[in-house]
């Protein structure tokens, strides 16, 4: 064999900035943020305060309201533990609750593909009603559009919502403080893996269910128990992406303890097989809270008594200000950096 001179060999030409939207722009990670910063915010966000929380805060006659909107495009429409209808209600209720608001009313817009069966639509609507009842909100307005076959994938639902923020509540991704204790409300990654295994028919032996749930009552109980600085529901992009966002918004250093992260064995096993990290897998019924150190145990106790907080756990702390960074103390005693999800999460090859 000729002696290979490796010096000078190079990798590919830089890929051109994409001129089209790719699925990764909807992943909730870095690409989503690029789209927001490059296109939407400069054009549409000029007048709005740039909090970039799960919902916006608008003030009318001195009263603060939380306002948010979310579109739901899940496939399959029905998955273990939930369906697009429950997802559409819970997603918006939770976004409102993460501002400390009491959700009041929702709107819903349906985009229906020609040929969708009434039976399916009926089931979805029933599920929406059940979820709304559980959350204590009502559907105040709606809209329906039908597109021709192929113009949408069966059924898309947009929900918007409004909630009232009571005096004295000040919860935002920008409010993390030095010494804050970080609590997650339960096992992470359940929703993403449940939907993935249903969609791809992965045939895992254990039945995994999505965690999709309205969290507003849990939030109310937590607020009654102690001082909360940050709340976020780590949906697309997973817990890691939410924590990186919060570290940047508040300019704080976060340290996590890998051994304390609650992960169901089935989710852990699926992630090990597929090459995923549960930190980046979507949740739909979980929240992460940054709370005042002295109140942490009390808030955790209240969470554990709630239907949707039984597996709540303290997972880390804010260990400094002035440097936006998330670090993980690994189970074996090492340290690594935790980053956002860059684009779509892809299964590894071998």
Q: Does residue 265 interact with another protein by CB under 8 A?
A: yes
Please report whether residue 336 would count as binding another protein according to CB under 8 A.
yes
Q: Which of 34, 257, 295, 311 binds another protein (CB under 8 A)?
A: 34
* 117 phi/psi in degrees, rounded to 5: -80, 145
- CA 150, CA 154: separation in Å to the nearest integer? 8
Q: Is 334 in the site for another protein (CB under 8 A)?
A: yes
Among 150, 168, 322, 333, binds another protein (CB under 8 A): 333
- The reply on whether position 343 binds another protein by CB under 8 A is yes
Under the binding rule (CB under 8 A), the answer on residue 5 touching another protein is: yes
CB count in 10 Å sphere of residue 37: 12
The pair of structure tokens assigned to 241 is: 């992406």
In the region spanning residues 270 to 299, those forming contacts with another protein, defined by CB under 8 A, are 272, 274-275
d(CA 347, CA 273): 9
Q: How far is the CB of 322 from another protein (least distance, A)?
A: 12
Q: Examine residue 257 and tell whether it contacts another protein (CB under 8 A).
A: no
**Is residue 18 a contact point for another protein (CB under 8 A)?**
yes
Work out the burial of residue 239: count CB atoms within 10 Å of its CB; fewer than 13 is exposed, 13-18 middle, 19 or more buried: buried
Measuring CA to CA, how many Å separate 73 from each of 78, 83, 156?
12, 11, 5
Query: Binding of another protein at residue 60 (CB under 8 A)?
Result: no
Regarding 22 and contact with another protein (CB under 8 A), the answer is yes
> For 233-324, where are the E strands, in sequence order?
252-257, 288-291, 313-321
* C-alpha to C-alpha distance for 216 and 101, rounded to whole angstroms: 8
Minimum CB–partner distance for residue 250 and another protein (Å):
17
- Told to check if 150 binds another protein by CB under 8 A, we report no
Residue 46 or 348: the one with the smaller Cβ distance to another protein is: 348
User: Does the footprint of another protein cover residue 11 (CB under 8 A)?
Assistant: yes
For position 205 contacting another protein by CB under 8 A, the verdict is no
322 binds another protein (CB under 8 A): no
Structure tokens at 243: 């924590």
Is residue 242 within 8 Å of 301, Cβ to Cβ? no
**What residues are paired with 163 via a beta bridge?**
66, 103
CA distance 195 to 191: 6
Q: How far is the CB of 89 from another protein (least distance, A)?
A: 30
Give min distance, CB of 326 to another protein, in A. Answer: 11
Give the tokens for residue 177.
């403080």
Q: Which residues bind another protein (CB under 8 A)?
A: 1, 3-18, 20-24, 29-31, 34, 200, 202, 265, 268-269, 272, 274-275, 325, 328, 330-337, 339, 342-344, 346-350
């Amino acid at each position: 064999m000729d002696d290979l001179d490796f010096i000078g060999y190079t990798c590919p030409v830089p890929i051109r900035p994409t001129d089209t939207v790719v699925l990764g722009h909807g992943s909730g990670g870095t690409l989503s943020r690029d789209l927001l910063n490059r296109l939407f915010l400069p054009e549409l966000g000029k007048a709005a305060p740039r909090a970039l929380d799960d919902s916006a805060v608008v003030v009318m006659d001195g009263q603060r309201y939380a306002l948010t909107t979310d579109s739901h495009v899940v496939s399959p429409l029905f998955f273990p533990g939930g369906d697009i209808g429950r997802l559409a209600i819970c997603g918006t209720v939770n976004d409102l609750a993460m501002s400390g608001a009491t959700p009041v009313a929702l709107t819903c817009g349906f985009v229906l593909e020609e040929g969708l069966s009434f039976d399916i639509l009926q089931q979805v609507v029933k599920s929406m009603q059940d979820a709304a009842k559980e959350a204590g909100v009502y559907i105040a307005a709606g809209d329906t559009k039908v597109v021709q076959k192929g113009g949408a994938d069966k059924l898309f639902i947009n929900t918007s919502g409004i909630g009232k923020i009571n005096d004295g509540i000040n919860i935002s991704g920008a409010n993390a403080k030095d010494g804050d204790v970080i609590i997650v409300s339960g096992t992470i990654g359940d929703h993403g893996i449940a939907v993935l295994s249903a969609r791809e028919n992965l045939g895992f032996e254990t039945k995994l269910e999505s965690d999709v749930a309205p969290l507003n009552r849990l939030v109310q109980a937590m607020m009654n128990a102690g001082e909360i600085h940050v709340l976020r529901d780590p949906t697309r992009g997973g817990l890691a992406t939410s924590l990186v966002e919060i570290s940047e918004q508040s300019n704080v250093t976060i340290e996590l303890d890998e051994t304390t992260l609650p992960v169901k064995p089935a989710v852990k096993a699926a992630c090990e097989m597929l090459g995923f990290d549960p930190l980046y897998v979507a949740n739909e019924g979980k929240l992460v809270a940054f709370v005042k150190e002295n109140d942490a145990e009390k808030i955790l106790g209240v969470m554990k008594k709630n239907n949707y907080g039984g597996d709540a756990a303290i997972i880390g702390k804010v260990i400094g200000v002035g440097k936006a960074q998330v670090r993980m103390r690994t189970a074996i005693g090492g340290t690594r950096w935790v980053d956002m999800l860059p684009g779509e999460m892809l299964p590894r090859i071998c």
